[in-house]
Structure 1
Amino acid sequence: MTRTELYKELNYVNHSREKRLKYANLVIDHPELVTPLLDILFDVDDKISCRAAWVFEFMCKEKLEAIIPFLDVFTKNMSKVHLDPAVRPVAKVCEYLIKAHYSKTDNAIKSHLTETHKESIIEACFDWMINDEKIAPKAYAMNSLFLLGIEYDWIHPELAIILERDFQMQSSGFKARARQILKKIRK
């Protein structure tokens, strides 16, 4: 399947789990499609990029190791994503990566997620926290930053400042997640 054919196929992806999973499995079964999928995802002004992001998120949910050869491309370009429906899945993929990296169980992400990748994720997560994003990317960013803060001692104080500063202005969902994270930071 060419990039053009994949682009056309993405028109059939919608919010349903069934469609996202169908196309995620297609990409998992045909790893050569990851490169054109990321090309479409990082064509950030095209509305179809959001659909590519949904498929990419589901691919990572089903088989996170599939991202390993593309970690450089993903982490270098993820901060360019700005359309709301694409930001959420990109933030979720970052959370998947960070959870896997700090997991107690052994996995391939631990040996492939480099310092540079983590720095890019940290930067993107802080951007999502301070920018006018919806609650979901902020929640995924909070979780990622909390875990990263175990390794990078400067992150927890910075994250706490942002959470406390924004607490009153945010939604009840943000407040609930922020309370959990602040409680963990203060332990």
Structure 2
Amino acid sequence: MDIKEALLKEYSKAQVLKIAAYINNNPGRFRNLMELFLGEDYRLTQRAAWVLSHCADQHPALLLPYLPELIYNLQKTKLAAVKRNTVRVLQNIPIPEELQGILANICFEYLITNEPVAIKVFAMTVLANLAQAQPDLKNELRLLLEDQLPYASPAFVSRASKLLLVLKKTPSVL
């Protein structure tokens, strides 16, 4: 299967699942997908994002060699689909210490700007995960979430409420 051709042929859940099944746990095929995902063609990038999400759900280890590229790509992309799918998969991946600071900054930026709610929800989960390793983030995240709760969407309130319970149970540095 030519992944690029398959992405351009049809944009449906069935096609995404078919491409993800083809890639399976094959690092070479996944590398091909990553090249498309990190490329310049916004249409291919957006379509590859959905496949990337499915591949990462099934085989998260495939992402590990690409973590620096994924995180740095978040700094430059304007595409909501790319942000959403990238931050979504990063919720379930252990982030190396050398990338935690930059990822935390990106996710805090998503929370304080006018991003779609799905991006915010995934970003807060990434931050809560990072706060387990970097306890000084807990208070900052807790305050930010509590500040936004009165004005937030139901999805934001639901996720934030669950995360606030977790953040309050574990002691912070301060």
* TM-score clears 0.5: yes
TM-score (norm 2): 0.84
Deviation per residue, 1:105-160 (Å, 9 max, x gap): xxxxxxxx421232333222222212211222211111221121122122111111
Q: Which amino acid aligns with 1:52?
A: A
Query: Quick one: which of 54, 59, 65 aligns to 2:55?
Result: 59
TM-score (norm 1): 0.79
1:165 aligns with 2:147: yes
What is the number of residues matched between the two proteins? Answer: 169
Structure 2: stretches of 5+ with no match in the other structure = 170-174
Query: Quick one: which of 92, 95, 106 aligns to 1:96?
Result: 92
Structure 1: stretches of 5+ with no match in the other structure = 102-112
**Which residue does the alignment assign to 1:110?**
none
Moved over 6 A (4+): none
What fraction of aligned residue pairs are identical, expressed as a percent?
24
Asked if structure 2 preserves the Cα contact closer than 8 Å seen for 1:51 and 1:86, the reply is no
Which has the larger displacement, 135-144 or 53-62? 135-144
Which has the larger displacement, 154-163 or 33-42? 33-42
3-state SS, counterpart of residue 120 of structure 2? helix
Query: Quick one: which of 156, 161, 168 aligns to 1:174?
Result: 156
**Which residue does the alignment assign to 1:22?**
18
Q: CA deviation at 1:76?
A: 2.6
**Which residue does the alignment assign to 1:150?**
132
3-state SS, counterpart of residue 96 of structure 1? coil
1:139 aligns with 2:136: no
**Which residue does the alignment assign to 2:6?**
9
Which has the larger displacement, 20-29 or 134-143? 20-29
**Which residue does the alignment assign to 1:114?**
96
